[in-house]
Amino acid sequence: MGSLPAIDERSLTYPFARRDESVVDNYHGVDVPDPYRWLEDPDSKETKEFVEKQVILTDSVLKTCEIRDKLREKLTKLFDFPKYNVPFRAGDKYFYFHNTGLQPQKVLHVQDSLDGKPEVLLDPNTLSEDGTVALSMCAVSKDAKYLAYGISSSGSDWVTVKVMRVEDKRDEPDTISWVKFSNISWTCDSKGFFYSRYPAPKNGEKLDAGRETNANLHQEVYYHSLGTDQSDDVLCWKDSENPMHRHIASVTEDGQYVLLYVFRNCDTVNQLYYCDLSALPNGVASYKGRGDALPFSKLVEYFDASYDYVAHNGTVFTLLTNKDAPKYKLVRVDLENPDFWFDIIREDEKDVLQSAVAVNENQLVVNYLRDVKNVLQLRDLESGALLHHLPIDISSVTGISARRKDDSVFIGFMNFLIPGLIYECNLKGEIPELKVFREIIVPGFDRTEFQVNQVFGPSKDGVKIPMFIVARKGISLDGCNHCLLFGYGGFNVSMTPHFSAARVVLAKHLGVVFCLANIRGGGEYGEEWYKAGALSKKQNCFDDFISAAEYLVSAGYTQPHKLCIEGESNGGLLVAACINQRPDLFGCGLAHVGVMDMLRFHRFTIGHAWTSDFGCSDKEEEFHWLIRYSPLHNVRRPWEQFANIGFVQYPSIMLLTADHDDRVVPLHSLKLLATMQYVLCPSEEKSPQSNPIIGRIERKAGHGCGRPTQKLIDEAADRYAFMAKELGAAWIQ
């Protein structure tokens, strides 16, 4: 083992948290201490004091990051470009979201025709002075007379639904509270809508929603009639025997059926029920006060696969499923003969079928994922036959918007160098006509200055892992580049090419090479790729990410001390676990809102739904999976672990969380922060850990959704200024 370095001016005085050594849990005969259990109470005086001290520490570190102000200035300039979402239609009107550039929140617009004058329908920026009230969901009634919209405060997942008249933009008195993990789905008569909600929390009227940690249980489906109080809403579905199940109700485009999806967790399986609304003589409202569910019938009884509605003709339904098809397929079934299913579009050997949208009466726009790039096709709805390939650049599809009766479809695209393109595809003729409807331009950004390569590097077990590498043209492979490696690897989520103004600034002004690793656990190659990074195989995710880092070093892109790793949510877990396992391989780590306590995550808010990916410590076998990689329980002094390779310390670390994150609650990051500072930087002795370990704790923000633009800019400036200082990256004009 090499000699330990002397403590230098970088050493910090950490506000060490009190350790309660009496808190010990016994898991299947194994005692596991939890000395920072008290940090699980966000409202305790001691937790608040700990947070305040960490904020002061982090601010003191960030003030020494010389490029912070310059970085914020450049980020602000590059963020300032108009952003548009794919438009959608309802009735005879068009609707779309638009942000002029630096507005805190995107604004909903309406227009009578594509060449008509757009009007602001709903501007969430008027709902709060600081932009922390966001529009989290919306649905326009079929006749376009009403807009039901959900707003959330400070980034919380809790949503309050209100109703507006589109014609005069006047709010109706309707208010729906305690909605979470829901949609809004109108009935065809525009008299009301379905939604999902949880029971009101205790002391709900006084609650600072988003700071509580109680488990979300007993979600129910309701129907709300316009002009009535929420207390009069019709209870359409409840399941007292399965309190962890989640439910979504969705009305078919023609209004005949309401479909009920039942999810037991985050696994790619669901039950599917249907109710023929046309068979209810007095409508859904007539079920008020009955206390039982609507007369739903089972179409899919077991949690054996994923089933997602695409279209129907009468009682014949077309569904997207992974039943006996890891890369998905389209199937058809008649509700009157539910035992007979047959394939319409069979599973492809290589490409993953991601979605299918019915359009032009009897056609489908089908979206495949091929080596992490989207491919679009036009197919016949009845037979599934291929009609045309829709030519697009190497891109990610950001949206496909059409109704079945429409003879045109809007398609949004994006990639690392294209901020956004929205095409209008006309299907009136024999050959689809694709034209640019909107192109998003970023002033001062020249895509020809950059290059994008996709490479495939071997993981620990030899499996090839795809990676996108984005850099300025002409970089040398001499190991001198600073590099940012990003990953996720979970919940069947595919990380596809996307534009980031912040990463453009890093590449242009810091010479940073950006790499996106498509590790197992995601959905990039279908169900098998996802399952290969879940449960007992979760270690594959960390092995893949570590192998991606090793590839960047061996290929000459960078060196360990110039390499930063970054991830969010499940990706925050990824970063923290990899740092524990290979602290010698990285110079810096940015872990956002990560799941860090793998033994107790299922006890808080919606954490119980993640057991499909992680397992649960309540089960003995699964406890042993989790304890091996849980970031909180695997912090070790690397200079004692890695004696065979000389001195090793942990890389510089920033753990990012937010005070209203009620999905991955802040206690995860706070407990890990306290643990790392105690283990690696003990107060009773001089520590060789000179790299800083800090936490950035955002106020009035949540898991990420709805965060106003200025908060996005400020956070990016802070974390990347920290990264630049710790990696030694110099500013390039």
Could you write out the three-class secondary structure of 308-361? EEEEEECCEEEEEECCCCCCCEEEEEECCEEEEEEEEECCCCCCEEEEEEEECC
Residue 569 bears catalytic tag: yes
In sequence order, the β-bridge partners of residue 334 are 316, 337
Do 573 and 541 touch, CB atoms closer than 8 A?
no
Q: CB neighbours (10 Å) of residue 344? A: 21
Distance of CA 355 to the CA centre of its chain: 18
Considering the candidates 224, 245, 602, 703, report the single residue annotated as catalytic: 703
Q: Which residues contact 242 (CB under 8 A, 6 or more apart)?
A: 264
* DSSP structure class, residue 200: P
Which tokens sit at 720? Answer: 């990347």
* DSSP structure class, residue 232: G
Considering the candidates 157, 267, 661, 718, report the single residue annotated as catalytic: 661
Residue 668 bears catalytic tag: no
Distance of CA 74 to the CA centre of its chain: 26
Exposure on the CB side of residue 601, measured as CA atoms within 13 A: 30
Cα–Cα distance, 320 to 141 (Å, whole number) = 25
What DSSP string runs through 27-66? ETTEEEE-TTGGGG-TTSHHHHHHHHHHHHHHHHHHTT-T
Cα–Cα distance, 489 to 459 (Å, whole number) = 14
Cα–Cα distance, 368 to 366 (Å, whole number) = 7
Which tokens sit at 594? Answer: 């990560």
C-alpha triplet 39, 664, 470: angle, nearest 5°: 125
Q: Which of 706, 723, 609 is nearest to 658 (CA)?
A: 706
Q: How many residues are there in the chain?
A: 733
Residue 278 bears catalytic tag: no
Considering the candidates 306, 569, 652, 669, report the single residue annotated as catalytic: 569
Q: Among all residues, which ones are annotated catalytic?
A: 569, 661, 703
